[in-house]
A and B are shown apart, each in its own frame.
Chain A
């Protein structure tokens, strides 16, 4: 169905109508827009996580035994089990009376690689590419950065810059290679990046067992400690290092690239409609390679933040699950640079607080994975969240915005056209 008939058919809005529409529009934007859905998604995920914690809590189980004689015991135990964990999560990530705001500094530290890698995933998303490969890109970035950090001995200042450059280069090469293969052969980047992750992982494992990388006198796969000149200066009394400033800088840079630069315009055009981009003179192959290289470079920066900031050595687990967390960070941030930044902070807080939580309440860190993935699932399905809170409008819901979303149903543009 073409839309040629739609516009003439729509009645011209009267004045009163317009004002009403405006007020209605604001209400709709609050209830239907991404902001509220995101908040609700986080809320629902936390509640479900709390229920999971409570379900396995010993006290809850005991009190459930006499639920009908003394229900209050059960519910207070249930409440306590859920909230205790979250309170200690908060205390471990933001503030507690003993350490003040020191935990918040830890949150920022943990967030740094999440933000950098998340930006890489988000940028690729915007160009229509699923970069599942942040994990591998972080690993290769870490390898190159770490090697430059412990094997080369350069003057203070220059050394750190070289380390950063090498890490970013490593990630860019690993990501760019995927872009190259996709551009040249049409292979799907999801499959390529997944495979590249494992290749990188085994490569790291191999290197850590070679003379060049293994710390002398060690049998464990661990590298020498990086030179003091090769690491980010840290804030005294905390692990927070200058890498966080780099993360802020990269956020600003990515925002500029996407919204204000000609290459960003190309990326977005290729992402939204590669055929039209090509017809308009954009070199789609070059654009694909460039996007993946920049995305890889950002993930490489996350690797730098790990080896030259937080860890200061190269280990087999240097990338932990950062690459996969980065995907959830980008999705929660709706692939916008600043959205990714704040999503990175949130998930960083979860990560940082989870350590305290595990120590004080015994709740395993894995709960963070559960909450994190639930958040992303709910955010990706706004109609579900709105249905839970009875916010659904009667009109048809638009599918959520993802890089390769469904071709909209003919009905969807029709209803938009009618309302315009």
Chain B
């Protein structure tokens, strides 16, 4: 210890009770947007179609100049960032609406930039949004499964397997019985079965929940792949032609521009999605059942001392979650296309997991997160068609990158249920 003592402690830091993370993030993104989407934007104008053929009344297309819009929106973002900095200097936290409005401005600025830079600078906004909702359907169901499991304290990495199992069962049962509705039911059962395995191993045998989840995904992938080759491909007519669930058009309402097709022109799976989101939200936050579930996920021992059966609650929730994810899986084979192929879920279970976290373990949050990811997914394919400067792979990366930012706490702070992933052993 011959080093001279430092006269000033190295860890001397300003006492800042208010986090500077948000203001700094907003400022950086705002300035970058101003430069890239504004000053370095495209000189073309971007055209957004709003109405489609069947609408009751027609709204004109939205035509905006690339650079000017980019600058205006970029300045808007900078103003919000400035407000956030001002608040931080006053030692006040940034209110929740600021990042939300900021995100909306950013998304629109990005859209204008990317569309105006395309070969054909024109997209249908209605189609973009409707497509986003459609692509988000399995994500929403998957994330609801995640929310239900994790709120009860069981980490569900097996969403992917539940979706895949649901997709497979829906296809084979609907094909054999000729009834897509029975296929839908079979999907729920298959998802629940995957969950039963998850529940038995993680709750009864205390196997680490992440391990079970990871392994279950491989198992379901193996079994469905095996049966696809040995059964479905032997006789696709009999085993792999499930037919589609019909789109149910609610007359009148479905003709409202933009929101009509989203809310009132859906398959039964689409309608079930809205019902499920509402039901899970009300169930978790307004009912006795939900209070107990959340108690089990936060402090299982406290729940136990009040006579609540912790492991039974967890078991039920995990199985319920699996059934919901299974229904989401049926989307692939009964709604999107009418046949099963290997790995048809294509990693969407993991995006759903991301939506759970990004949506802060709240069904409605998860719903909007899933919509955002569906939007990114849809935009990616549309952008490939209209030919833009952004490689589609980077759009595909977006949900994952956003989630990394979310879990790293760079956009807000998410807090998992306290006992999430902890097995409960009585005593």
Touching chains A and B, CB distance < 8 Å: yes
| Residues of A that sit less than 8 Å from B by CB | 52, 56, 130, 132, 181, 184-188, 190-192, 194-196, 198-199, 202-203, 205-206, 209, 321, 324, 327-328, 331, 363-364, 366-374, 376-377, 380-381, 383-384, 399-400, 402-411
Which residue in chain A gives the minimum CB-CB distance to B217? A324
What 20 new A-B contacts, CB under 8 Å, besides A380-B208, A381-B201, A399-B207? A187-B407, A191-B357, A194-B350, A198-B347, A198-B400, A199-B401, A209-B393, A324-B218, A327-B211, A327-B214, A363-B230, A364-B226, A367-B222, A377-B215, A380-B201, A381-B207, A402-B211, A405-B208, A407-B422, A411-B427
Task: Give bound CA distance, A76 to B206, whole Å.
Answer: 39
> What residues of A have a CB within 8 angstroms of the CB of B223 in the complex?
52, 366, 370
> What residues of A have a CB within 8 angstroms of the CB of B353 in the complex?
191, 194
Which residue in chain A gives the minimum CB-CB distance to B404? A195
> What residues of B have a CB within 8 angstroms of the CB of A370 in the complex?
219, 222-223, 226
| Residues of B that sit less than 8 Å from A by CB | 157, 197, 201, 205-208, 210-212, 214-219, 221-223, 225-231, 347, 350, 353-354, 357, 391, 393-394, 396-397, 400-401, 403-404, 407-410, 421-423, 425-427
**Most chain B beta carbons < 10 A, residue from A130, A132, A369, A383:** A369
Q: Are B207 and A191 in contact (CB under 8 A)?
A: no
> What residues of A have a CB within 8 angstroms of the CB of B407 in the complex?
185, 187-188, 191-192, 195
> What residues of A have a CB within 8 angstroms of the CB of B347 in the complex?
198
Task: Give bound CA distance, A370 to B214, whole Å.
Answer: 13
Given A56-B230, A191-B407, A400 and B207 contact (CB-CB distance below 8 Å): yes
Q: Are A195 and B215 in contact (CB under 8 A)?
A: no
Given A366-B225, A399-B206, A328 and B404 contact (CB-CB distance below 8 Å): no
Which residue in chain B gives the minimum CB-CB distance to A401? B208
Which residue in chain B gives the minimum CB-CB distance to A414? B427
Q: Are B409 and A185 in contact (CB under 8 A)?
A: yes
> What residues of A have a CB within 8 angstroms of the CB of B197 in the complex?
377
Task: Give bound CA distance, A363 to B230, whole Å.
Answer: 8
6 A/B residue pairs, CB under 8 Å, sorted by A:
A185-B409, A191-B403, A199-B401, A406-B206, A406-B425, A410-B427
Given A188-B407, A402-B207, A369 and B221 contact (CB-CB distance below 8 Å): yes
> What residues of A have a CB within 8 angstroms of the CB of B208 in the complex?
380, 400, 402-405
> What residues of A have a CB within 8 angstroms of the CB of B207 in the complex?
377, 380-381, 399-400, 402
Q: Are A374 and B422 in contact (CB under 8 A)?
A: no
Which residue in chain B gives the minimum CB-CB distance to A384? B205
Task: Give bound CA distance, A56 to B157, whole Å.
Answer: 29
Q: Are B219 and A324 in contact (CB under 8 A)?
A: no
Which of A181, A321, A406 makes the CB contact (< 8 A) with B422?
A406
Task: Give bound CA distance, A381 to B222, whole Å.
Answer: 20
> What residues of B have a CB within 8 angstroms of the CB of A188 in the complex?
407
In angstroms, how far is the closest chain B Cβ from the Cβ of A392? 12
Q: Are B408 and A181 in contact (CB under 8 A)?
A: yes
Which residue in chain A gives the minimum CB-CB distance to B214? A327
**Most chain A beta carbons < 10 A, residue from B157, B215, B227:** B215
Task: Give bound CA distance, A324 to B218, whole Å.
Answer: 8
> What residues of A have a CB within 8 angstroms of the CB of B408 in the complex?
181, 184-185, 187, 192
Given A192-B404, A199-B400, A383-B205, A132 and B225 contact (CB-CB distance below 8 Å): no
Task: Give bound CA distance, A52 to B223, whole Å.
Answer: 9
**Most chain B beta carbons < 10 A, residue from A198, A203, A209:** A198
Q: Are B222 and A368 in contact (CB under 8 A)?
A: yes
> What residues of B have a CB within 8 angstroms of the CB of A331 in the complex?
211, 215
In angstroms, how far is the closest chain B Cβ from the Cβ of A50? 12
In angstroms, how far is the closest chain B Cβ from the Cβ of A345? 19
Which residue in chain A gives the minimum CB-CB distance to B225? A366
**Most chain B beta carbons < 10 A, residue from A328, A367, A377, A403:** A377
Task: Give bound CA distance, A408 to B354, whole Å.
Answer: 30
Task: Give bound CA distance, A317 to B84, whole Å.
Answer: 45
Given A181-B404, A198-B397, A199-B400, A186 and B211 contact (CB-CB distance below 8 Å): no
> What residues of B have a CB within 8 angstroms of the CB of A376 in the complex?
211, 215
Task: Give bound CA distance, A384 to B215, whole Å.
Answer: 16
Which residue in chain B gives the minimum CB-CB distance to A382? B205
Given A364-B225, A372-B218, A400 and B206 contact (CB-CB distance below 8 Å): yes
Q: Are B427 and A196 in contact (CB under 8 A)?
A: no
> What residues of B have a CB within 8 angstroms of the CB of A399 in the complex?
205-207, 423, 425
> What residues of B have a CB within 8 angstroms of the CB of A192 in the complex?
404, 407-408
Q: Are B201 and A206 in contact (CB under 8 A)?
A: no
Closest 9 CB pairs of A and B: A369-B222, A366-B225, A373-B219, A370-B222, A206-B393, A381-B205, A364-B229, A402-B208, A187-B407
